Chains A and B, each alone.
Chain A
């Protein structure tokens, strides 16, 4: 695919890419700093701040909390996204396009507006600062991603295969288990990875909706940047970035494998 791109354009693209990614990458050397001050370029080399990150309950519990919320968000998004995608692609009813717009609207909507709205609803319902509330909020913006990835997979799936399965004696449930599910699994995994990533580094909703006891990793980082600038912040940033990169790589890998499988 890269065959037809002229060399000059490739170099230009590479430079722009590097410039965009550089500020992100500076946190890596900074996280290995030996000095107690967060600055660039870093002074010395030590793993001291990694030790602090994993032992200080402020950081480690926030990291665990983030994983918990992202995992729950993923599960909930998968259930909702799969259900909606199945209904939208396989169902026969009118008014699909307005419903589609509604499903995708959280992606287009400014998140800060959603955050303010949820803030007032949550304080009325008294679920501000709860894990459940946060999971729900993250699901609102994560499940459209699952929906997109799944409806794409379902659209690509030939419905004749399901007819064939029925003609061979399989019930609807059996067909779903043996035919539909295996064929949409790559789409399901991709959706799950996107949902997890979305929740994992989400800050705006989390700032509005977390409380003093339930804090996610990005929120703690935000707090710390305003109070105490220690290299632990760089450690946290590095870890957030690494997890995200690994997840996105997995999603891309699934995508290319799926393409390779097609006849």
Chain B
């Protein structure tokens, strides 16, 4: 495949490419990289890969970028098979975690680099670089060296350099990982804005849940070299399909047991799953997942008012943290189960001191049923 076939004319505004990763597997000698990963990324979509460290996110990106070759499976961009195409002919922009700016070049020269490589006419290069630097608000820094910029500024240069040649696909590997929290939040907004303006398809990697929720159209949850679930933030939060996703996204309470006749049996206690989302096989190991905001905590003395249809568990408050709008509380049951709940500020004061007895209740229709191991 020639360079011109894969490159899109630079006069056009970038339109997002369609990336298809199908059944891709990659191992490093004896150690697993990714096993059978499949994702379809829609044109113009902002898709995030979220998962713990070592789960195969970087490996997937490197396979797409062409720094690694898959052992099996296929990766196509706009219908063209990418395997066998060297990285420099793929026309995919990439932003690295440690910026990877060229230290011997000025900011301007860094951003100009992909354009020079493509032998674009000088005048056009100049205006493209100027436009890119303006988009990341670094026009005044054009003549400086990367070492003279702060981390956030360097990352914006890396971003400008990655999109200035209008790639159809932009890959970002934990681009904000090296920044402090405040800057990270500002950059999340910045990156989302720039990507929307560009219209490019973006595959973004992070291990920060909030970042993924804040930025993405869809999120792929990675675990141990596989994708556990792919969906919108709401899908993952409200309708997790596996125990891992339920546990990883949000701060849910997970109650394990075995499933029988529309209820979960947890240490001899039958908890209704009537109307719960998800289904598991009769008699199998299962877990009920409940979001903190779906749990109600009442003092042990006021259990009489609880409707019949709700599930209840007796627990002891172990810790409460004041959060402004509510208190975040941890409770423990006699069986050792840890419950994560929010208690409103106006709740009776005997509820949020360690050692207080309470009853936790929830509507089974608000819980999620997932298979357990």
Complex CA distance for A174 and B67, rounded to whole angstroms: 17
Expressed in whole angstroms, the minimum distance between the Cβ of B143 and any Cβ of chain A is 17
Chain B residues with CB below 8 A from A51, complex form:
none
Could you tell me how many residues of chain A have their Cβ less than 8 Å away from some Cβ of chain B?
A: 21
The answer to whether B103 and A163 have CB atoms under 8 Å apart is no
The answer to whether A160 and B98 have CB atoms under 8 Å apart is yes
Complex CA distance for A29 and B67, rounded to whole angstroms: 63
Binds B, one of A39-47, A69-77, A164-172: A164-172
The answer to whether A169 and B117 have CB atoms under 8 Å apart is yes
Q: Which 7 A-B residue pairings sit nearest by Cβ, starting from the closest?
A: A263-B147, A168-B114, A164-B100, A167-B94, A166-B87, A169-B117, A160-B100
Chain B residues with CB below 8 A from A18, complex form:
none
Complex CA distance for A158 and B65, rounded to whole angstroms: 18
Closest chain B residue, CB of each to CB of A160: B100
Of residues 137 through 180 on chain A, the ones whose CB sits less than 8 Å from some CB of chain B are: 158, 160-161, 163-172, 174, 178-179
Expressed in whole angstroms, the minimum distance between the Cβ of A180 and any Cβ of chain B is 11
The answer to whether A168 and B161 have CB atoms under 8 Å apart is yes
The answer to whether A166 and B86 have CB atoms under 8 Å apart is yes
- Please report A residues at the B interface, Cβ cutoff 8 Å: 158, 160-161, 163-172, 174, 178-179, 182-183, 261-263
The answer to whether A169 and B165 have CB atoms under 8 Å apart is yes
Can you list 18 contacts pairing A with B, beta carbon distance less than 8 Å?
Answer: A160-B100, A161-B100, A163-B96, A164-B100, A165-B102, A165-B113, A166-B66, A166-B67, A167-B90, A167-B94, A168-B88, A168-B165, A169-B3, A169-B89, A170-B113, A263-B103, A263-B146, A263-B147
Chain A residues with CB below 8 A from B147, complex form:
262-263
Expressed in whole angstroms, the minimum distance between the Cβ of A172 and any Cβ of chain B is 8
The answer to whether B102 and A179 have CB atoms under 8 Å apart is yes
Expressed in whole angstroms, the minimum distance between the Cβ of A109 and any Cβ of chain B is 36
- How many residue pairs link A and B with beta carbons under 8 A? The number is 68
Chain B residues with CB below 8 A from A163, complex form:
65, 67, 87, 94, 96, 100
**Interface flags, B106-123, vs A, CB<8A=1, else 0:** 000000011001100000
B93: interface (CB < 8 Å):
yes
Complex CA distance for A168 and B65, rounded to whole angstroms: 11
The answer to whether B88 and A169 have CB atoms under 8 Å apart is yes
Chain A residues with CB below 8 A from B118, complex form:
169
Complex CA distance for A103 and B80, rounded to whole angstroms: 46
Complex CA distance for A230 and B215, rounded to whole angstroms: 83
Chain A residues with CB below 8 A from B113, complex form:
165, 168, 170, 178
**Interface flags, B157-182, vs A, CB<8A=1, else 0:** 00001100100000000000000000
Of residues 49 through 107 on chain B, the ones whose CB sits less than 8 Å from some CB of chain A are: 65-67, 86-94, 96, 98, 100-104
Expressed in whole angstroms, the minimum distance between the Cβ of A115 and any Cβ of chain B is 42
Chain A residues with CB below 8 A from B102, complex form:
161, 164-165, 179
Expressed in whole angstroms, the minimum distance between the Cβ of A234 and any Cβ of chain B is 45
Complex CA distance for A165 and B98, rounded to whole angstroms: 14
Of residues 109 through 160 on chain B, the ones whose CB sits less than 8 Å from some CB of chain A are: 113-114, 117-118, 146-147
**Interface flags, B175-216, vs A, CB<8A=1, else 0:** 000000000000000000000000000000000000000000
Chain A residues with CB below 8 A from B87, complex form:
163, 166-167
Could you tell me how many residues of chain B have their Cβ less than 8 Å away from some Cβ of chain A?
A: 30
Chain A residues with CB below 8 A from B88, complex form:
165-172
Complex CA distance for A178 and B112, rounded to whole angstroms: 13
Closest chain B residue, CB of each to CB of A167: B94
Expressed in whole angstroms, the minimum distance between the Cβ of B14 and any Cβ of chain A is 15
The answer to whether B100 and A170 have CB atoms under 8 Å apart is no
Expressed in whole angstroms, the minimum distance between the Cβ of B147 and any Cβ of chain A is 3
Complex CA distance for A171 and B66, rounded to whole angstroms: 13
Chain A residues with CB below 8 A from B3, complex form:
169
Chain B residues with CB below 8 A from A182, complex form:
104
The answer to whether A169 and B104 have CB atoms under 8 Å apart is no
Complex CA distance for A179 and B98, rounded to whole angstroms: 17
Complex CA distance for A25 and B147, rounded to whole angstroms: 43
Expressed in whole angstroms, the minimum distance between the Cβ of A169 and any Cβ of chain B is 4
Closest chain B residue, CB of each to CB of A158: B100
Known contacts: A160-B96, A160-B98. The answer to whether A167 contacts B65 by CB under 8 A is: yes
Complex CA distance for A166 and B93, rounded to whole angstroms: 10
Complex CA distance for A158 and B99, rounded to whole angstroms: 11
Chain B residues with CB below 8 A from A168, complex form:
88, 93, 113-114, 117, 161-162, 165
Expressed in whole angstroms, the minimum distance between the Cβ of B331 and any Cβ of chain A is 47
Chain A residues with CB below 8 A from B103, complex form:
183, 261, 263
The answer to whether B117 and A167 have CB atoms under 8 Å apart is no
Chain A residues with CB below 8 A from B66, complex form:
166
Complex CA distance for A166 and B103, rounded to whole angstroms: 16
Chain A residues with CB below 8 A from B91, complex form:
169
Chain B residues with CB below 8 A from A161, complex form:
100, 102
Closest chain B residue, CB of each to CB of A164: B100
Expressed in whole angstroms, the minimum distance between the Cβ of A90 and any Cβ of chain B is 14
Complex CA distance for A54 and B65, rounded to whole angstroms: 62
Expressed in whole angstroms, the minimum distance between the Cβ of B114 and any Cβ of chain A is 4
Chain A residues with CB below 8 A from B86, complex form:
166, 171
Complex CA distance for A164 and B67, rounded to whole angstroms: 10
Complex CA distance for A245 and B118, rounded to whole angstroms: 46
Of residues 1 through 55 on chain B, the ones whose CB sits less than 8 Å from some CB of chain A are: 3, 7
Known contacts: A170-B88, A179-B102. The answer to whether A164 contacts B117 by CB under 8 A is: no
The answer to whether A164 and B96 have CB atoms under 8 Å apart is yes
Q: Which of A160, A167, A179, A261 contacts B93 (CB 8 A)?
A: A167
Instruction: Specify which of A158, A161, A164, A170 lies most central, judged by the most chain B CB atoms within 10 Å of its CB.
Output: A164
Complex CA distance for A174 and B87, rounded to whole angstroms: 13
Closest chain B residue, CB of each to CB of A170: B117
